[in-house]
Amino acid sequence: MFIPKSGADELRLANGGSPCAGRVEVKHKDVWGTVCDKNWNMTGSNYTKFLSLLNGESQCDGRVEISLSGVWGRVLDDQWNMDDATVVCRQLQCGAAEKAYHPRKSERGTGPVGLRRVQCAGNETHLTLCNTTLPETVQAGITEDVGVVCSGSRQIRLVNGAGRCAGRVEIYYQGTWGTICDDSWDLADSNVVCQQLECGHAIEAAASAHYGEGSGQIWLDDVNCSGNESKLWECPSRGWGQHDCRHKEDAGVLCSDFMDLRLVNGGDCAGRLEVFYNGTWGSVCSNLMTAITADLVCKQLGCGNRGDFARDFAYGEGSGPTWLDHVVCLNQHSSLWQCPSDPWDPQSCDNRAEETHIICSGRKVNSTQTLLNKCPNSTSCTDKEKLRVVEGKDRCSGRVEVWHHGSWGTVCDDSWDMADADVVCKQLGCGVAVSALGKAAFGEGTGPVWLEKVNCKGTESSLWDCCAKPWGDSKCYHKEDAAVNCSGVTQTTASPLRTGKAHPLPPTEADGRRDMVLIVICIVLGAVLCLVLIILGGQVRSARALHRVSRRYSDPFSEAVYEEIEYNQMRKKLEMLGRSEDSVTKLQYYTGDSEEGNDPGSVKEALSLTEAVPEEGYDDAGEISTPEYYPVSSQSDQAVITNSQESDKYRGSQKGWNLHSLSIGTDRDDPFLPNEDTGYDDVDAGSRTFSG
C-alpha cells in the first residue's frame, strides 16, 4: 500500500484502551483504513514501515524514503538493482518495476538514513523483509540514494495546446517524458487518448508536429488502436523506444472537450463572441448576460479589464452553431468556463439578433504564445493560414496543400484551372494566377489528397468557398497534385477583415545581389564579344590587303588578253561595217572595260575617236614604243603595247591569222613577223591602208 510522507497523526492504534495498544490504522487521502495481517510479524510490529517515492512525476516513481518508528529516512545502496525495485513497486502497489536508478545530484536527499545495503531476492512483499542493514551512527553521504520507476507511473498528457484537451501527445515512461510518432496515427488512436484524459472524443488526429516538435525520447511508433483500449500503451505498437522517426513527426490530438473563445470581425479585442466546442466555432447568446461577463471575457483574452456590449449586429451575423445561452458570470469566476449556463446546444439562440458583441477597453499584449496559437495549429486560424504552396521558387509558386483534420494534404488536378488558381493566389496574398499546373509540376506530395474536382468561379475569397468533392473523397494519386504560379507577393495594410490595396514587396538584399551578378555577366560577355569583333575586323582587312598585293604581282597578261579579245571582236565588227584600215588602227588606243563596249553605242563612240586629229607637235612614235625595251608597269600600259603589236601583225598578212593562233610571249618567233627593223616608222605604218 502507499502511505504518503506525514507526521505521527497518519498512524494510530484504535480500540485498544490506550494510545499504545489497538488495531493498526493508517490515514490515506483523508480516509482511515486498516492494515492486513498477511506477513505481519514482530518486525512489522516493532518497526512500523512505510515507503514514499519523492521528486517523481507520480506516486509510483522517484527517490525512495522509508519511515521507521515515525521518522522518515533515506535508503542508501551502492548495489541497488531491479530486484530491489520490484519489491518497492509491489509494496506500493504501483505495478511492475521499470527502472532502478541512482538519482541525480540535485535530487539526492540530505536527511537521516533509514536503511543501508538492501539485498532483495525480488519476491519479498516489503522492503524490510529483504536483507538490510540498519543505519549506523555515522551520517552517510549523499552518493548512494536510490530510486525506482514503476509501471504505475505511466502517464499521458497533451502539451503546447491552449488547454488540457488539445496538444502534442506525450507519455511518461521509465521516468522520462517522450513523444509518439505519427506513422499510422489516426482518429482511433486519438480517441483512446481523449478518453484516457477524460476529454470527450477525438476531433482531429494531428500529425507532422502540428503542435510543435518535442524533445528527448520517442516512445511509441506505428500505434494501432481499435478504439476500445483504456490506455494508449495497451494498443499494439512497435514497442517502447522502437521507431524510425524524428520529432518533426510528433503526433497530436484535438479532443471534443477542448474549449476556446475569441472575438471576430473587429480585431483581437472587439467583435462577435464565439466559443470553440466539439471541433466547431459557434456564437454565444446574450440573454441574461451582464457587464461582469463582458469584463471577464476581455480579461480572459488579455484585452484589458473592461468590456461593453455592442448592439445591432455591429460585427455581423454568425453562420455556425449558437453554442451557449443564459451565461451568468460572477465576480469570483476567473474564466468563462466556470460560469453557469444552459447545456451546450448548437441551437441555443432563438435568432441571430441575440448573438453577443463585445468591445474591450484594452489591446492584446503581444506575448509568447503556445504553438497552438501559431497557425495552422491554432483553432482560431483563418482559411489563409490553412493553405500553402510548397516546393516552388518562393511562397507564391508551388504545389497546393491544404490543412484539414490535423494534417497537410494535396489537391487533385482534375478540373483544376485558372479560376481555381486565381482563388488560391488571392487567398495567399500573392496577386493573380499566372498559370494553373497539374501532373505534380512541383513534385509529388505526401499524405492524403484532400480535395478533388475543385470548381471555383474565381470570385471566391477562399478555396473553402469553392465547390468540390467531399473532403478526403478522392481517388487521385500524388502524380496528379495541382500547383500554381502566382504573379507575386502583395501586402495589405487594412484590418484582418478587409483587403487593402496591394503593393509589391520591396526588393530584398538577395534580389539586389542577384541583379548585380546578372549585370556583371552581361558586361563581361559584351567585352568578349567586342574583342572578337575587333579581331575578326583585323583579319578581314589583312585578307583584303593581301589579296590586292597578290593581284598586283600575278600574271600581267591575263587582263591584257581579255582586253585584246574585246578589241579584236570590235575590229571585226568594224570590218563588217566597211571601215578603213586607218580608222581601225586608230582604235588601238581605245579599250572597253565592260560589256557596253560591244553594243552599237560603243561602236559609234569608237568611230568618233578615229576622226580626232592629234594636236600639233604630238608624235605617235613617242607614244608607241617597242615593248621589249619597256617593262610592263600596269594593265593600261600593257593594253596599249599589246594592241600596237597586234596592229603590226595584222599588217604582215591580211589573212591566216586568228586569236587562237596568237601566243602571248612568242611574238618574236612568229614566221609572219619580221625579225629585224623594217626601216620605217610606226607612224607611217599606222597611216597605210590595206589593199584588197
Q: Are 456 and 421 in contact (CB under 8 A)?
A: no
Quick check: bond before 448 cis, omega within 30? no
- The SS3 assignment for 224 reads coil
Per the CATH hierarchy, to which homologous superfamily does domain 382-504 belong? Answer: SRCR-like domain (3.10.250.10)
The rounded average pLDDT for each run of 10 residues, N- to C-terminus, in the chain (692 residues) is 41 60 70 71 50 85 87 87 92 89 83 86 88 58 78 89 89 91 93 92 89 91 91 93 92 90 88 89 92 92 90 86 93 87 90 92 58 48 74 88 80 92 90 90 86 89 86 85 83 34 39 68 89 89 80 54 52 56 45 44 43 46 42 41 43 41 42 46 43 38
User: Can you give the pLDDT at residue 273?
Assistant: 94
Q: Which residues contact 309 (CB under 8 A, 6 or more apart)?
A: 286, 289, 291, 294, 356, 357, 358, 359
d(CA 424, CA 482): 11
Q: How far is CA 173 from CA 88, 153, 216, 246, 457, in A?
A: 17, 7, 12, 18, 53
Per the CATH hierarchy, to which homologous superfamily does domain 154-255 belong? Answer: SRCR-like domain (3.10.250.10)
Question: Please, what is the Cα angle at 478 between 474 and 484, to 5 degrees?
Answer: 95
- Name the grid cell of 11: 498512524
User: Which of 265, 254, 260 minimizes the C-alpha distance to 200?
Assistant: 254
d(CA 430, CA 419): 14
Q: Are 23 and 13 in contact (CB under 8 A)?
A: yes
**Radius of gyration, alpha carbons of the chain:** 56
Q: Which residues contact 54 (CB under 8 A, 6 or more apart)?
A: 5, 62, 63, 65, 109
The pairing of strands 397-404 and 357-360 is unpaired
Q: For 266-339, where are the E strands, in sequence order? A: 270-277, 280-284, 307-309, 322-324
User: Which of 130, 1, 144, 12 minimizes the C-alpha distance to 73?
Assistant: 144
User: Can you give the pLDDT at residue 636?
Assistant: 41
Question: For residue 262, what is the enclosing H or E element?
Answer: strand 260-265
Question: Please, what is the Cα angle at 102 between 136 and 49, to 5 degrees?
Answer: 50
d(CA 387, CA 382): 9
User: Can you give the pLDDT at residue 11?
Assistant: 67
User: Can you give the pLDDT at residue 583?
Assistant: 44
- Name the grid cell of 203: 476531433
Give residue 198's identity as a one-letter amino acid code: E
CATH class held by domain 8-149 = alpha beta
Q: Are 154 and 172 in contact (CB under 8 A)?
A: yes
- Work out the number of other CB atoms within 10 angstroms of the CB of residue 330: 12
d(CA 428, CA 375): 14
- The SS3 assignment for 407 reads strand
User: Can you give the pLDDT at residue 682?
Assistant: 46
Question: Please, what is the Cα angle at 72 between 67 and 77, to 5 degrees?
Answer: 85
Q: Do domains 8-149 and 154-255 have the same CATH topology?
A: yes
The pairing of strands 407-411 and 449-451 is parallel
Domain ranges of the chain: 8-149, 154-255, 260-364, 382-504, 558-613+620-687
User: Can you give the pLDDT at residue 459?
Assistant: 84
CATH for the stretch 260-364: 3.10.250.10
